[in-house]
Amino acid sequence: MFYFLTFIFELLGIVAKNPIIQKIALFSFFFGLVTFSVDFFASKVTNEFANVSQILVIASWFGFLNALQIVFNFLITGFIVKQILAFIRG
């Protein structure tokens, strides 16, 4: 049983050293974290749109603000992962 666990952990170590697997793992983790944060703050702001401007209400209705959230999620997450991997390599 011990040898089986050792073999599994060795395989995980080999896979974890692969740079593509590192990027996928870090990107998925931080994308979820950033998406949660952006959605949380966006939900706080969207309640006040009716008081601010009719244009923001229309933009929200057409989905423009949701598209901006997705773009910001990818940009922020890509930057975070790039910086972490550069730090690890350096």
Q: Please, where are the H alpha helices in the chain?
A: 2-16, 19-46, 49-52, 54-62, 64-89
- pLDDT value at position 50? 62
| Contact between 60 and 49 (Cβ < 8 Å) | yes
Q: Where are the domains of the chain?
A: 19-89
- pLDDT value at position 15? 67
Would you state the structure tokens that stand for residue 75, as one six-digit string? Answer: 């940009």
Question: How distant, in Å, are the alpha carbons of 43, 60, 65 from that of 56?
Answer: 14, 6, 9
- pLDDT value at position 56? 73
**Which pTM value belongs to this model?**
0.62
Task: With a cut of 50, list the residues of the chain below it in pLDDT.
Answer: none
Residue 48 DSSP label: T
